[in-house]
Amino acid sequence: MLGVMTVPEGVRLAEERSLDLIEIAPTAAPPTCKIMDYGKWKYENKKKLVAARKNQIIIQTKEVQLRPRTDKHDFDTKMNNARRFLLEGDKVKVNLRFMGREMAHQELGFELLKKVVVVLSDVAIPELMPKIEGKNAFLIMAPDPAKVKDYLKLHPPQKTATPESKADKQASANEE
């Protein structure tokens, strides 16, 4: 803290120390400046941005397509896929496409989307309630971290056997 001084004085002090005078807060009264190595400052800021970008979590939106006449087994399969996407941290957009005379019975589509909300309520919350746009109705579900954590406690992820481990098991069985 060198106090308030004129610009030429600040520049002279910076040149004496072989450093740069950098304006930090131009809107302050009086403007705030620092005497430091500008190249080093840019390098450190660049490293901070890279570190911040590295720690970012990118959330993707996955889509699940349904029809009002989707059968129970197909519905269950699609909901298992949606649950898997939500557990991986992605959002899920459920598209419901109406074709032909199905447009006359949009209430059946809304019931199906409400059923989706109920089925996925153990791991997600509806981010956007069902809406109709033309011949499509859609719903967006977002993972709820607390619900996902509770779900994973009750249903720990199962380790699937890889082909290598199967071969190792067979080799060890043959040796015995």
* Residue 25 shares a structural domain with residue 68: no
Global pTM reads: 0.59
Residue 135 in contact with residue 106, Cβ under 8 Å?
no
82-138 pLDDT per residue, tens: 999 999 889 999 999 998 888 888 888 888 999 999 999 999 999 888 888 888 999
Query: 171 in a domain, yes or no?
Result: no
For residue 47, what pLDDT is reported? 93
Give 123's DSSP letter: T
Q: Is 66 left (phi over 0), alpha (psi -120 to 50) or beta?
A: beta
Looking at the 3D structure of the chain, how many domains does it have? 2
* Residue 83 shares a structural domain with residue 30: no
* Residue 92 shares a structural domain with residue 30: no
* Residue 149 shares a structural domain with residue 72: yes
| Sequence-separated (6 or more) residues with CB below 8 Å from residue 121 | 147
pLDDT > 90? residue 4: no
Q: What is the CATH number of the domain that holds 121?
A: 3.30.110.10
Q: Is 99 left (phi over 0), alpha (psi -120 to 50) or beta?
A: beta
Residue 28 in contact with residue 58, Cβ under 8 Å?
no
133-172 pLDDT per residue, tens: 888 999 999 999 898 888 888 888 776 655 555 555 555 5
Domain enclosing residue 103, as ranges: 61-154
Query: 166 in a domain, yes or no?
Result: no
* Residue 149 shares a structural domain with residue 68: yes
* Residue 42 shares a structural domain with residue 90: no
Query: 130 in a domain, yes or no?
Result: yes
